[in-house]
Amino acid sequence: MRVVSGSAKGRPLKSVPGTSTRPTTDKVKESIFSMIGPYFEGGAALDLFAGTGGLGIEALSRGMDRAVFVDVEPKSISTIKENLKATRLEDRAEVYRNDAARALKALEKRANQFDLVFLDPPYRFKNGDELMLDMVERGLLQDTAVVVLEYESSYNYPENFGGFRCLRTAKYGEAAISIYRYEIAQDQAAELDEEESQND
C-alpha cells in the first residue's frame, strides 16, 4: 500500500499486523478519490474506522487541512501514527483510540465539523446509515459534506435518507462503495414532509 497522489505521493504505508483489518486497496482508493476529488482546497476529514489510516492520509495528501483518525484497536492506532510520521502529515492529524459511537460523542463535545467522512466498518456491522444519522444529530457535518461508505457488496443501503443523497455506488468484488452528500436544506425538507404526513 502507498499514498496514490498529492504531497505524499508514492510514500509506502504499513499494514496493521494480523488479519483483523481490511485495508482499502490502492486501486479502490484511486477510484474513490476520482469520484470525490480528486483534490481538495482545505477542509476537515474524519476517518472513523481508520485501520491503517490510508483513506484519511490520502485526503490530507490531496489537500485537506486536517483529519481525525479513530479506531478501537491498539495495533491500528500505532500503525496510523507510524504512517502519519512516514508521510510527514502528523502535524495535521489527531488520532484517537475509541469505538465509533463514543468517538462521535467526544467529537461533538469538541464542536468538530467535517467536510469529508470515511466510514469503513467491519462487514458484520450494517449500521453505516445509523452512524451517518448520528453525525447529523450531533452537528458533526458541514452542509454538502461527503460521506464515503464502504460495505459488503451483497448488502444494500438506502439511496436517500435523512438529508443524505447517494451520488454514486461502485462494486469491487466483495466490497461496495457508496458516495453520499449531506445537504441541510434537504434534511429540513424531509423533516417538514414528515411533520405534514403526521398532521394529515
Domain parsing of the chain, residue ranges: 26-199
Calculate the CA 21 to chain-centre distance.
15
Does this model's pTM top 0.85? My answer is yes
Q: How is domain 26-199 classified at the architecture level of CATH?
A: 3-Layer(aba) Sandwich (3.40)
Distance CA 129, CA 112 (A): 20
Q: Quick one: cell of 71?
A: 479506531
Q: Which residues is 157 bridged to in the sheet? A: none
> Tens-of-pLDDT digits for all 200 residues of the chain?
899 999 999 999 999 987 566 778 888 899 999 999 999 999 999 999 999 999 999 999 999 999 999 999 999 999 999 999 999 999 999 999 999 999 999 999 999 999 999 999 988 889 999 999 999 999 999 999 999 999 999 999 999 999 999 999 999 999 999 999 999 877 776 666 666 666 66
Q: What is the pLDDT of residues 88-126, one digit of tens each?
A: 999 999 999 999 999 999 999 999 999 999 999 988 889
